[in-house]
A and B are shown apart, each in its own frame.
Chain A
């Protein structure tokens, strides 16, 4: 008997093929490696110092001493190994590549669409590029990060991914939106 554990994405089978991208686009990332770093008690500053400015991964604030780490270059196991080596005793690293789903909403109306479910002020002066936070989007808690003037990343619990995409489509009802898996 052959054993092949091909991974199923949480949104497989829920997103139809699109003929073309529209003004605003929601890209679902299939292969982003995601980890959570929890600073060891009393080591928040040290862990934060190690996590800044790195080409291999991005650290997103989610709470004091807690970050989501996203990487497009690492596989889940190598990301965790890499982080563990760098952080040593300063933090605990937990693989969440299967536990979370990463999405990118980009387009001229991205902030306006998000304002239909997210309460925080998304003006670029208040929530600038590089800022991340856990926020409530309608009924769901998501990690929101601004990656460009009109581009936002959302990271959500896997089991809620389908509900979030449904919500985002509804939030974007007055705007042009296409949804598809990201191609790398």
Chain B
């Protein structure tokens, strides 16, 4: 038995000893403890240092509002900083370390700030670090960075897994206290699908630390009975260890479930945390109420806690927070704590009540000081005594803990996260949730019904209304008989006058009453200004405990009501959520899906090097033995295509089949070039514009039947073009009788290019492939030897005699293998997208490197394609506007390097020889560049002002990124076979 563990009582399992460590000390607690209750049982009250002054700080609460007891749990890659000891479930092997102290918790250098605190008033940073400006980077920023932050994370990657799940229900109940359990029970019995979420590891909420009997039994017995019934109901999901942190549009709630955060040994197969997105038809917020601290001199001394926390440690965890406890209260709740402690045999030093004429009575034999207050505390790392004041008469009172009760604030965060402002209740002296519509109702203490019987009744009533709203009939629920209960009335007291030392409002950020006074005097009295000026409410606890007192104090200083001051804005998350949980499984290879080409296996067998291209994984080049660099392979592949033939995977191109009597008319409006008269069995290059006249995408249009087309898109724009076509048919011209479908994944498509392409292909294809039978731009169905139907298109990107052959995807590898075998005697090679890129640059064919959204058809040298005779097409009207037809627009040209040892890079700019680099002197840009094995030098495609008139001119290619300037000659962008002899062969 440890020093402060009571001999009996509480819900901890004394038969189970749970070893853990804190700052290296080996300690033990019991199953059912939080880290905080176990630390208290071990007389470890001092758990951290405050942020600004590094003052010693102890545990203040027994729940998620805790501002002080923030520790780091775990180590290495599993280090979790800023874990609240008050909600951290104790487990075998838990290692916790304190934060914001150096070199140790009890002896901390940073505490010198405390001695300098008169210079570190609110706004200190704003005022001090303004000047001299030169000091900012060298002195102030490193200084602030060193001091900033609470806890620290570690760089090794998190080894744990996370997941995200969707859930749907009729009713989500947030909180499993008396109101929540009653609501869930009524809803479940009435046949609703219910989710009950509780942030604690144990269900029951306040019933776990309550002593008022229900049906003559301890309240936890009642709670367990209800929970068992709910567990047995298949329509109910109970989620313990689950914090509902946010309320979002359309009644979607975000919640985080700590699946394996209570175990030193993590099962790698399961997530450690799960993020729930709960779609709830209705929700009941039964989050209870938070007890307010009292703001008095020295109120941050370790040993000063809220009275409800003192009760919870005694009643639920069987822990005495001190040997002699003073109760300081402004209402009835303090007396309840006094009774709880007396019944557990814990000594009460005195009950100090700020009210002079309250009817409450202290337990027998306990000294009661009415109309008194605490004005100072003594002790270093733990409270030794308090100084009380009654009518100007001060008294030093020995005690090692203070249970303070400053009244109650309903926990309404979730209800205020979607813009609703809290409403001040004069009667309850608290901010209440606004009316937020039928989707979310507040029940129990969160709605200001503090008595136990009211909580149960209100929970049942709110759930009954939901049941009726959903058209079910309400099932019965016998209310438990409630024993003697406390009326938690209080007289609000925002700060205790006559403080002899700092009276803290925000414990974590060290904001005290004088800081707020300074904020008001200096004109920052608005609640949002005061927050930023003093940093009150900006710490990791977001002012859950302190804000209400800050608002009360501001109101008093400004001579207005708290209603006039209002609150700062409530935003998700209620408590911090790990990045891991937010990312879920979307990490590593699951962050983006990988698309695999149907020819992937063929490419891999042929030794391809793959690259990521968008979502695709494409074959880039095919190294052969002896080739040292990628350039060796690419140059060889290009030469082989030009001299013999090559086979390339082009399956990633978008393929869309278009049907319907208006298919031709639709495509005629979609492309800038004419499509209507395209003959059956023929393909045509197609250029699609945006409505603003710029090129959107290019590809081919093939007519397979009178009312049946196949269009291709670039790989990158496949998805975009499909949406664009859907917009055109569904929004712009819904009267067109046309239907289409993306068939991209149905076909494996390969390009066979080179002078020997026909010979090789003919070895595999049954049909006659002679130029007469399959002329340039033919598009038709063929049959491969071995009886496989395929589609054949005589189109060329390389400028060579070339075909694209499409076969059903599953047969792709076999067809490619057959072609490779047939091509072997003719020197056929596999080539990748790098060689494809070189081949098309040599031929002056554009891609999205050129068609970057700023380029018109004429800029790209494709102006004559425009069907100016057409009545309408997308982009027609605006392509005639001023500016798009200007003569000095940048036009597509070729560039040949004049210095053999210098290459080009895309992105370089063009300058006249001798001109200074400037925006004014800019003549254009390089869009694509490569080494051309065919020409034996570096070449590029570029856009140059009035470029088509400037062939032969020498120009500077200015590459600021690499610091390279190269001379180049402007030329026709078609470097290879401008007469198209090879193409037509």
Report A's interface with B, CB cutoff 8 A: 1-10, 12-13, 36, 38-42, 65-66, 76, 92, 94-100, 115-121, 123, 126, 138-140, 157-160, 162-164, 166-167, 170-171, 173-174
Contact of B745 among A65, A159, A163 (CB under 8 A): A159
How many residues of B are counted as interface, with CB atoms below 8 angstroms from the partner's CB atoms?
57
Evaluate whether A10 and B814 lie within 8 angstroms (CB atoms) in the complex, with A167-B585, A173-B271 already known.
no
In the complex, the answer to whether A118 meets B166 with C-beta atoms within 8 Å is: yes
In the complex, the answer to whether A173 meets B809 with C-beta atoms within 8 Å is: no
In the complex, the answer to whether B741 meets A38 with C-beta atoms within 8 Å is: yes
Evaluate whether A94 and B743 lie within 8 angstroms (CB atoms) in the complex, with A2-B786, A5-B786, A5-B788 already known.
yes
Contact of A123 among B168, B660, B821 (CB under 8 A): B168
Stretch binding the partner chain, chosen from B25-33, B135-143, B591-599: B591-599
Expressed in whole angstroms, the Cα–Cα distance for A166 and B598 within the complex equals 18
Min CB gap B687→A, angstroms? 26
**Which residues of B642-692 have CB atoms within 8 Å of chain A's CB atoms?**
657, 659-660
In the complex, the answer to whether B814 meets A96 with C-beta atoms within 8 Å is: no
B959 at the interface (CB under 8 A from A): no
In the complex, the answer to whether A173 meets B270 with C-beta atoms within 8 Å is: yes
Tell me which residues across on chain B come within 8 A of A118, comparing CB atoms: 166
Expressed in whole angstroms, the Cα–Cα distance for A112 and B786 within the complex equals 47
Tell me which residues across on chain B come within 8 A of A120, comparing CB atoms: 166
Nearest neighbor of A113 in chain B, beta-carbon distance: B165
In the complex, the answer to whether A158 meets B598 with C-beta atoms within 8 Å is: yes
Tell me which residues across on chain A come within 8 A of B164, comparing CB atoms: 116
In the complex, the answer to whether B786 meets A3 with C-beta atoms within 8 Å is: yes
Evaluate whether A121 and B598 lie within 8 angstroms (CB atoms) in the complex, with A40-B660, A41-B738, A158-B809 already known.
no
In the complex, the answer to whether A7 meets B810 with C-beta atoms within 8 Å is: yes
In the complex, the answer to whether A163 meets B585 with C-beta atoms within 8 Å is: no
A39-B739, A96-B745, A116-B165 known; 19 new pairs, CB 8 Å cut-off, are A3-B786, A4-B814, A5-B814, A7-B811, A8-B601, A8-B810, A38-B741, A40-B737, A42-B737, A92-B660, A98-B746, A115-B166, A139-B586, A158-B598, A158-B746, A159-B598, A160-B595, A162-B596, A173-B270
Expressed in whole angstroms, the Cα–Cα distance for A163 and B592 within the complex equals 9
B794 at the interface (CB under 8 A from A): no
In the complex, the answer to whether B593 meets A92 with C-beta atoms within 8 Å is: no
In the complex, the answer to whether B271 meets A158 with C-beta atoms within 8 Å is: no
Q: Which of B269, B596, B814 has most chain A Cβ within 10 Å?
A: B596
Expressed in whole angstroms, the Cα–Cα distance for A160 and B597 within the complex equals 9
Expressed in whole angstroms, the Cα–Cα distance for A2 and B814 within the complex equals 11
In the complex, the answer to whether B737 meets A139 with C-beta atoms within 8 Å is: no
Tell me which residues across on chain A come within 8 A of B822, comparing CB atoms: 1
Tell me which residues across on chain B come within 8 A of A166, comparing CB atoms: 589-590
Please provide the 10 A-B residue pairs with the shortest distance between their CB atoms, ordered closest to farther: A3-B786, A99-B746, A7-B810, A163-B593, A121-B168, A98-B809, A99-B745, A98-B808, A41-B737, A159-B595
Min CB gap B979→A, angstroms? 36
Tell me which residues across on chain A come within 8 A of B740, comparing CB atoms: 38
In the complex, the answer to whether A163 meets B743 with C-beta atoms within 8 Å is: no
In the complex, the answer to whether A139 meets B738 with C-beta atoms within 8 Å is: no
Tell me which residues across on chain A come within 8 A of B786, comparing CB atoms: 2-5
Min CB gap A101→B, angstroms? 9
A-B contact pairs, 8 of them (CB 8 A): A1-B822, A13-B601, A99-B743, A118-B166, A139-B586, A139-B592, A173-B161, A174-B271
Evaluate whether A6 and B814 lie within 8 angstroms (CB atoms) in the complex, with A171-B585, A174-B271 already known.
yes
**Which residues of B804-833 have CB atoms within 8 Å of chain A's CB atoms?**
807-815, 818, 821-822
Min CB gap B435→A, angstroms? 28
Interface residues of A, dominant DSSP: loop
In the complex, the answer to whether B810 meets A174 with C-beta atoms within 8 Å is: no
Per-position contact with A for B824-860: 1 when CB-CB < 8 Å, else 0?
0000000000000000000000000000000000000
Evaluate whether A173 and B813 lie within 8 angstroms (CB atoms) in the complex, with A158-B745, A159-B595 already known.
no
In the complex, the answer to whether A163 meets B271 with C-beta atoms within 8 Å is: no
Tell me which residues across on chain A come within 8 A of B784, comparing CB atoms: 3, 5
Nearest neighbor of A11 in chain B, beta-carbon distance: B596
B78 at the interface (CB under 8 A from A): no
Expressed in whole angstroms, the Cα–Cα distance for A99 and B595 within the complex equals 13
Contact of A173 among B163, B660, B810 (CB under 8 A): B163
B167 at the interface (CB under 8 A from A): yes
Min CB gap A172→B, angstroms? 10
Nearest neighbor of B252 in chain A, beta-carbon distance: A119
B193 at the interface (CB under 8 A from A): yes
Tell me which residues across on chain A come within 8 A of B598, comparing CB atoms: 8, 10, 98, 158-159
Min CB gap B791→A, angstroms? 12
Nearest neighbor of A139 in chain B, beta-carbon distance: B593
Expressed in whole angstroms, the Cα–Cα distance for A167 and B807 within the complex equals 29
Expressed in whole angstroms, the Cα–Cα distance for A5 and B741 within the complex equals 26
Tell me which residues across on chain A come within 8 A of B728, comparing CB atoms: none
Expressed in whole angstroms, the Cα–Cα distance for A182 and B709 within the complex equals 36
Nearest neighbor of A92 in chain B, beta-carbon distance: B659
Evaluate whether A163 and B193 lie within 8 angstroms (CB atoms) in the complex, with A38-B659, A95-B746, A116-B164 already known.
no
Tell me which residues across on chain B come within 8 A of A99, comparing CB atoms: 743-747, 809
B152 at the interface (CB under 8 A from A): no
Expressed in whole angstroms, the Cα–Cα distance for A61 and B738 within the complex equals 19
In the complex, the answer to whether A159 meets B743 with C-beta atoms within 8 Å is: no
In the complex, the answer to whether A1 meets B821 with C-beta atoms within 8 Å is: yes
Tell me which residues across on chain A come within 8 A of B703, comparing CB atoms: none
B870 at the interface (CB under 8 A from A): no
In the complex, the answer to whether A170 meets B585 with C-beta atoms within 8 Å is: yes
Tell me which residues across on chain B come within 8 A of A138, comparing CB atoms: 585-586, 590, 593
Min CB gap B654→A, angstroms? 12
Expressed in whole angstroms, the Cα–Cα distance for A36 and B747 within the complex equals 15
Expressed in whole angstroms, the Cα–Cα distance for A31 and B953 within the complex equals 62
Min CB gap B159→A, angstroms? 14
B465 at the interface (CB under 8 A from A): no
Tell me which residues across on chain A come within 8 A of B813, comparing CB atoms: 8
Tell me which residues across on chain A come within 8 A of B657, comparing CB atoms: 94
Tell me which residues across on chain A come within 8 A of B472, comparing CB atoms: none
In the complex, the answer to whether B743 meets A96 with C-beta atoms within 8 Å is: yes
Expressed in whole angstroms, the Cα–Cα distance for A167 and B164 within the complex equals 12
Expressed in whole angstroms, the Cα–Cα distance for A158 and B600 within the complex equals 12
Min CB gap B368→A, angstroms? 55
In the complex, the answer to whether B741 meets A94 with C-beta atoms within 8 Å is: yes
Contact of A160 among B593, B811, B821 (CB under 8 A): B593
Min CB gap A61→B, angstroms? 15
Tell me which residues across on chain B come within 8 A of A6, comparing CB atoms: 811, 814
Tell me which residues across on chain A come within 8 A of B616, comparing CB atoms: 159
Tell me which residues across on chain B come within 8 A of A117, comparing CB atoms: 585
Tell me which residues across on chain B come within 8 A of A119, comparing CB atoms: 166, 277, 279
Expressed in whole angstroms, the Cα–Cα distance for A38 and B809 within the complex equals 21
Expressed in whole angstroms, the Cα–Cα distance for A92 and B586 within the complex equals 38
Min CB gap B730→A, angstroms? 10
In the complex, the answer to whether B594 meets A163 with C-beta atoms within 8 Å is: yes
Expressed in whole angstroms, the Cα–Cα distance for A76 and B818 within the complex equals 23
